[in-house]
Chains A and B, each alone.
Chain A
Amino acid sequence: MKKIFSIPLIRGIIWQVIGLLVGIGIVVGIRLAMGLPATGPYLVTEHAWVFGGFLGTLTFLAGHGVMDGWFKVWRGEIVSDHHEDKPGWEKYFGPSLDHKVIGIQYTVTGLIVMILGGTFALIFRTELAFEGMQFLQKAQYNTLMSMHGIVMIVVILLGIGGMMNYLVPLLIGAHDMAFPRLNSFAFWIVVPAAVWLLSSMALGGIETGWTGYPPLSANMKLVGQQMFFLAVFIVGWSSILGGLNLIATVVRMRAKGMIAFRMPIFVWASIATSLISLTATQLIGLSFQMVMFQRLFGMGFFDPNKGGNPVLFQHLFWFYSHPAVYVFILPGLGIVSELLPVFTRKPLFGYRWIAMSSLGIALVGFLVWAHHMFTSGMNEYLRVPFMYSTLLVAVPTGVKFFSWTATIWKGKIDNPVPTPMLFTVGAILVFLLGGLTGPPNATVSTDLHLHDTYWIVGHFHDTMFGGFMFPFFAALYYWFPKATGRRMNETLGKIHFWLMTPSFFVMSLGMMYIGLHGMRRRIADYDPAMNFQPMHLIITISGFLIALSVLVFFINLIITMRKGEVARGNVWNSRSPEWLVESPMPAHNYEHPFEVVGEPYDYGLSGSKYVEFAKHK
């Protein structure tokens, strides 16, 4: 028993519950003392839940121990940033400072939460497979649909957090991130946030979709709505601090000789992503905070009866939430660019153009948010300029696609194709579909029809799968030997791919087809007269097949962990520095620092070298 409580994660969660109860107690006490009603439909009033949630987050962090180092600094003690973890699994449950441990914490948490988000989708997809309401109530449907959205967004943030934390210091030859303590903090605040997010299902649910538009989100008498806002607010901070850390790391900790245009392409993508998450994330936090305060204190920001403006919320919200989709996809596209040269045995075609296109997408991405609002009733003269800016994103995205195609052209790809390469090609094809279905939404006139339909649902599932899911799996298969010293099973990997890819195409094309014909987004049931049922059934079956393929992946993961093929060397014959040392990666990364002496992707050029390790420490 004592051993269980010594695990920081368990200790943190116990403290979180205590903090919640104390917070609720304080608010109830104050309200009773002031003669205000303290009870509500969910036992106590919203104020008590929100304050309890806030306090519980702090007590989690204090109880878990992730802030111990800072407490020491505040007391005037000197602490070291260097990580010393005991070997074994315990370090994964505690505040480790090692970027590799944190990267794995992010990734594994992401995978676990992915199971949840996927399960929500399967439940409401089953409901949609047939006309009429089967086994869910409409409110439950709305909650599951909203939870699927926001949980998957958290999964993506965790997934890119995992990839960037694990890979970037290795790729640039740093011994750790610039701020290891902050890094650990940024991961661990996600855990209490995830607890609040899930708790919202028990507190009435969320019925607004993940976008949480007021006045609906402000009027809904559900405490779950507040816990959802609180959770997203906290996750936002994780994203902000993660981005901050990454930029500082890349600017300050690169190996000798690694000038900007010799950085691995994934590092470029990470920088572009981090610039967005560092800055724009604040605005989703602010907009959600304003709705929270509108609910708690009656501040009328988005309440037309008090002179507020519901459309203002949409501006603030999308100022983050559109660039956010570039946060989601840019690291994935970076993975694609990173893996293609290794498997085609050719240099990355137009390295500088691809690097710049990531930055281009990120920067143009700040100027396109209002394309989500073409039908919103905002000032009409804004629509055409935002159409131009949005369509401009197609240009740097096109550069990526053409450069990838040119990289593959005449590439000597192994036969049979290794699993990471399969997922890379899958990512290109799926993202291509997502990219090509984008311009019709960016064009105002066609968007008037397409907006808020299942076409959009199909489109963004394409971009998210092509920009995140497929590259994420490619990265997992590719770097798994680096992290564990074992290689994942190829046969199971291929089953995973061949099950997932066709099912996914059927699913998203089916979604787009019925969307064009009038299927709206976010509806629990559809008009039988529209004859959508056969297609919905097909979409549901495809969804289950995708889930099955992910199950195969998890089985593969477990089998490999236990008795997979041992792989300690340069499995993929890569030029990248992390593969030139033995796997799994040593605790302090490179024993001998390296110096960059050549171009990163000079495959096929005999005698060329990317890095050279120092002889002495």
Chain B
Amino acid sequence: MIHIVVVGILVIIMAILTYVGANSVGLMPVQASAQAVPIDWMWGWQVVAISFLFALIVVPIFYSLIVFRRKKGDTSDAEHIEGNTPLEITWTVIPLIIVVAFAYMGAYSLGESRRITDPNAMIIKVTARQFSWTFEYPEYGFVSNELHLPVWKQVVLKMEAVDVIHSFWVPEFRVKQDVVPGRVTEYRITPNLVGSYKVRCAELCGSNHADMEGAVIISTQADYDTWVAEQVELAAAATPEGRGKKLITANGCIGCHSVTPQPGVSAPSWFGLFGSQVLLADGSTVTADDAYITESILDPAAKEVEGYSPTIMKPFTLTPDEIADILAYIKSLK
């Protein structure tokens, strides 16, 4: 009996230590959405259960291993205890009750995280492709490769994939949703902390899956409005360069290519590309003229650039006008 009491006390101490220890290392990133609150509440209770059950099993095992181990010279078997049906029923029924309670809490917190606080929430169209994210703001008619959101406003992302399955995840938002080709999935979120985050693709989507990240910027309403105004102005500028820039964002080109002297994520930079000599994987060189760039858009594998072979880019179907706009934009990058 004394053993049971000691073990009971040790279990409580161990459970408290585990719980405090787990929480002191900081288990979750910051909360940046209203949806994170019920999810973290659920998580908190799970840590309580984990700590307690961990102690409940580990303490008696170690206690027994130390206290009841075979004494020197003892060769007899241990006490013949076959089982105890009331005890077995107890540790079937009580966990069953706990499990049902936790499932209920899980459903409750899920419901909370899906609560529609703004039925007229702004809709943003998200397109996922290998290996970039594109965000279209239909209300304003522009496309961006950054997701800007005003703080404390619920928004709905309508997400679609063009090639394979991707998954939209901002760790600070807690919520994750796959983006599946052939269907539109929804992601409803209320950002609540100004800051700069990243959406990270959470479903293996090909060679460069690791790089499939996009900026998510939560700003005050005023900053957000300024950004929107800038974007609208840019989109309205109907120069060939302007249209070209819009096209390369909408088609996800700058997910891989870059427009600065730094090389892109997994594709050559376009900065100063036009008119330069490009070294190909087969050792030859080619001048980056209209014909070469057009061919590389329509049939990327025709001429593989050194260092980027085998080509991972897929052929794009664009009209000659669109290609002319993109060429104009690339020519402007000097």
Contact = CB atoms under 8 A, between A and B. Distances in A.
CB atoms of A and B under 8 A apart anywhere in the complex? yes
Interface of A: 137-139, 142, 207-209, 213, 215-216, 219-220, 304-305, 308-311, 344-347, 349-353, 375-377, 383-384, 387-388, 391-392, 394-395, 398-399, 401-403, 405-406, 408-415, 417, 425, 428-429, 432-433, 436-437, 439-440, 443-446, 448-449, 451-453, 513, 516-518, 520-527, 599, 602-605
Interface stretch (B209-217, B245-253, B270-278): B209-217
A439 B102 contact: yes
A520 B50 contact: no
B92 A520 contact: no
Closest 9 CB pairs of A and B: A304-B182, A518-B171, A443-B106, A604-B80, A523-B210, A604-B77, A216-B164, A445-B109, A345-B77
Interface string B22-56: 00010111000000001100110010011001100
A436 B53 CA distance: 8
Contact of B88 (A353, A408, A516, A517): A353
B46 A412 contact: no
B110 interface: yes
B176 A452 contact: yes
A446 B82 contact: no
Given A216-B165, A347-B82, A526 B57 contact: no
B95 A395 contact: yes
Contact of B96 (A138, A395, A406): A395
9 contacts: A138-B208, A406-B83, A410-B78, A414-B69, A428-B57, A443-B103, A448-B113, A449-B174, A520-B210
Interface of B: 25, 27-29, 38-39, 42-43, 46, 49-50, 53-54, 57-58, 60-61, 64-65, 68-70, 74, 76-84, 87-88, 91-92, 95-96, 99-100, 102-103, 105-107, 109-110, 112-113, 163-165, 167, 169, 171-172, 174-183, 185, 198, 200-211, 213, 266
Given A518-B29, A523-B210, A392 B74 contact: no
Given A399-B88, A445-B39, A527-B213, A216 B82 contact: no
A403 B57 CA distance: 10
Given A353-B83, A432-B54, A346 B207 contact: no
A406 B209 CA distance: 47
Given A513-B25, A525-B210, A408 B61 contact: yes
Contact of B165 (A215, A409, A432): A215
Contact of B106 (A377, A401, A436, A444): A444
A304 B213 CA distance: 25
Contact of B207 (A207, A375, A387): A207
A436 B56 CA distance: 12
Given A215-B163, A445-B39, A432 B77 contact: no
Nearest to A142: B207
A522 B163 contact: no
A142 B42 contact: no
Given A207-B206, A410-B79, A401 B57 contact: yes
B175 A448 contact: yes
B129 to A, nearest CB: 12
Contact of A410 (B64, B88, B183, B200): B64
Contacts of A409: 60, 64, 68
Given A387-B106, A388-B103, A448-B175, A351 B180 contact: no
B42 A445 contact: yes
Contact of B182 (A309, A417, A429): A309
B202 A391 contact: no
Given A347-B82, A443-B42, A520-B169, A376 B180 contact: yes
Given A138-B210, A346-B77, A516-B28, A208 B39 contact: no
Nearest to A145: B204
Contacts of A408: 60-61, 64-65
A403 B50 contact: no
Contacts of B208: 138
Given A449-B39, A516-B28, A517-B28, A209 B204 contact: yes
B164 A215 contact: yes
Contacts of A350: 83-84, 87-88
Given A216-B205, A305-B182, A446 B46 contact: yes
A467 to B, nearest CB: 15
B80 A405 contact: no
A294 B61 CA distance: 53
Nearest to A374: B176
Nearest to A393: B99
B311 to A, nearest CB: 11
Nearest to A437: B50
B202 A451 contact: yes
B209 A346 contact: no
Given A406-B83, A413-B69, A520-B169, 15 more contacts: A304-B183, A346-B78, A349-B84, A353-B83, A376-B180, A395-B99, A402-B57, A402-B88, A409-B64, A414-B70, A429-B61, A445-B109, A446-B39, A523-B210, A602-B80
A602 B80 CA distance: 7
A603 to B, nearest CB: 5
Contacts of B178: 375-377
A436 to B, nearest CB: 5
B183 A412 contact: no
A605 B80 contact: yes
A451 to B, nearest CB: 6
B203 to A, nearest CB: 6
Contacts of B209: 138, 142, 522-524
